[in-house]
């Protein structure tokens, strides 16, 4: 399964320059960083949390972890990690666990940890465990319109 057609069309319709990347299969963002030979801070992982009855798309560096209590303060409700079974149907054009941080495509609010803004570029899953997208961080923010805040810690 190559990069989702839905993702390609979305980026092209919004005139967002990006570089597609292919790498050996990896089922974690940290693993993808390793096989692409880039820092774990450069590769964003996408996590789905549930707060109340709503799902949220959470984006942070692959080498960081979500601090649920900090995220809950930002969202305004207690949060928990959603299971793959709970969110699989939200991303019909993506392999399970390889969803991109483009919540606008899937009707989900996006929260990005401010630590990602340090780098000029962002690399993220393109809907498969073998494909990624590299783009300018500012272009990503214009496209995804995330809430940028602090909710993650390194390690």
pLDDT band, residue 22 (cuts 50/70/90): confident
Question: What pLDDT is recorded for position 16?
Answer: 95
pLDDT at site 128:
87
Q: How far apart are CA 9 and CA 62, in angstroms?
A: 26
What's the pLDDT band for 35 if we cut at 50, 70, 90?
A: low
**Fold that domain 5-154 belongs to in CATH:** YbaK protein (3.90.960)
Which pLDDT belongs to residue 119?
A: 86
Whole-model pTM? 0.89
The confidence score (pLDDT) of residue 5 equals 87
pLDDT digits over 104-135, tens only? 999 999 999 999 998 899 999 999 888 999 99
pLDDT score of 85 more than 70: yes
pLDDT at 31: 54
Please check the confidence at residue 3 and state whether its pLDDT lies above 90. no
Q: Which of 42, 64, 49, 12 is nearest to 124 (CA)?
A: 42
- Tell me the three state secondary structure of residue 84: helix
Which residues fall within 8 angstroms of residue 66, CB to CB, at 6 or more apart? 47, 49, 58, 60, 81, 151, 152
Average pLDDT, whole number, for the chain?
Answer: 88
């Amino acid at each position: 399964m190559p990069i989702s057609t839905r993702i390609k069309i979305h980026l092209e319709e919004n005139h967002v320059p990006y570089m597609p990347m292919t790498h050996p299969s990896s089922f974690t963002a940290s693993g993808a960083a390793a096989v692409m030979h880039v820092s774990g801070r450069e590769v964003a992982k996408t996590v789905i949390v549930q707060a109340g009855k709503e799902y949220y798309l959470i984006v942070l560096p692959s080498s960081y972890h979500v601090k649920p209590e900090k995220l809950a303060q930002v969202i305004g409700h207690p949060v928990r990690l959603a299971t793959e079974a709970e969110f699989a149907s939200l991303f019909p054009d993506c392999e399970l666990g390889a969803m991109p941080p483009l919540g606008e495509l899937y009707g989900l609010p996006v929260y990005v940890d401010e630590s990602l803004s340090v780098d000029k570029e962002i690399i993220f899953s393109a809907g498969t465990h073998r494909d990624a997208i590299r783009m300018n961080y500012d272009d990503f923010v214009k496209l995804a319109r995330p809430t940028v805040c602090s909710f993650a810690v390194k390690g």
